[in-house]
């Protein structure tokens, strides 16, 4: 079988222009590489004990800022891919403590969460690609407001320590970032049609969505597994 990403994108979304399909091929290739690099960052924490914490978060923000202040000019693609890889590595390093905690609960949680996240990501991506009209772009204002609410709830819960608020933030955040996959996918298509060729930044957008969905799914699975163990005890 002679399969390649370009043919895969074309088969799924024949209504898209060749330039858009080529752009999406580059975007999803970069997302795939970023996911692998993030896995390497998490492995560094798990096997060496190097903790991510606040420093990895600040480093990831630094790489993101560097990417923003180095716009695509057609000649700095390799440099920008390196910055994206640095962002992905620090993101994976920051996920390390959460992954380590899940291993103490159940060693199958990480592959299960990754499988669920992959299915969710692919499903919502296909929904966005198959929709010929960019109807999900209208979600932008709602998603921005929802993200603000989630941030407020997260800050408030630092003081209240409410389980109800935490659950609302957890499940609400999962729904929110699933919707962001729809929105960002159609936004990328719209931007490419408008002449934006920056597939590195577009890959970062989808990679952030992917990581956030994975984080929420993993925490939910950890809660459920702990609940089952508590009932048995």
pLDDT at position 178, please? 96
pLDDT at position 5, please? 53
Both tokens of residue 152?
Answer: 């407020």
Both tokens of residue 36?
Answer: 């692998």
Contact 86, 40 (CB under 8 A): no
- 28-42, 83-97, 98-112, 122-136: segment of lowest average pLDDT: 122-136
**How confident is the model over 96-117, as a mean pLDDT?**
95
What percent of the chain is modeled with pLDDT above 70? 94
Both tokens of residue 226?
Answer: 């702990």
Whether 229 has a pLDDT exceeding 90, the answer reads: no
**Closest C-alpha among 51, 73, 23 to residue 185:** 23
**How confident is the model over 109-137, as a mean pLDDT?**
91
pLDDT at position 129, please? 87
Contact 22, 49 (CB under 8 A): no
Contact 77, 197 (CB under 8 A): no
pLDDT at position 53, please? 77
**How confident is the model over 102-123, as a mean pLDDT?**
95
Tens digits of residue pLDDT in 2-57:
445 555 555 555 678 889 989 999 999 999 999 999 999 999 999 987 877 788 99
Helical axes 109-130 vs 199-232, angle rounded to 10°: 140
pTM of the predicted model as reported, rounded to 2 decimal places: 0.91
Gap between the Cα atoms of 158 and 152, Å rounded: 10
């Amino acid at each position: 079988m002679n399969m390649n990403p370009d043919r895969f994108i074309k088969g799924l979304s024949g209504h898209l222009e060749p330039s858009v399909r080529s752009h999406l091929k580059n975007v999803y290739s970069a997302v795939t590489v970023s996911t692998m690099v993030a896995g390497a960052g998490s492995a560094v924490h798990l096997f060496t004990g190097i903790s991510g914490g606040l420093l990895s978060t600040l480093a990831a923000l630094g790489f993101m800022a560097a990417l923003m202040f180095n716009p695509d000019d057609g000649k700095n693609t390799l440099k920008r891919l390196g910055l994206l890889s640095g962002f992905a590595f620090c993101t994976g390093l920051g996920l390390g403590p959460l992954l380590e905690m899940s291993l103490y609960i159940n060693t199958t949680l990480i592959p299960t969460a990754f499988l669920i996240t992959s299915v969710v990501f692919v499903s919502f991506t296909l929904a966005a690609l198959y929709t010929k009209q960019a109807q999900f772009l209208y979600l932008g204002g709602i998603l921005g407001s929802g993200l603000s609410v989630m941030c407020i709830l997260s800050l408030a819960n630092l003081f209240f320590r409410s389980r109800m608020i935490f659950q609302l933030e957890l499940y609400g955040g999962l729904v929110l970032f699933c919707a962001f996959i729809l929105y960002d996918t159609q936004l990328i298509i719209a931007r490419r049609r408008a002449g934006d060729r920056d597939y590195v930044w577009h890959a970062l957008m989808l990679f952030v969505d992917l990581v956030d969905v994975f984080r929420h799914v993993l925490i939910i699975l950890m809660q459920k597994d702990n609940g089952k163990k508590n009932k048995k005890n």
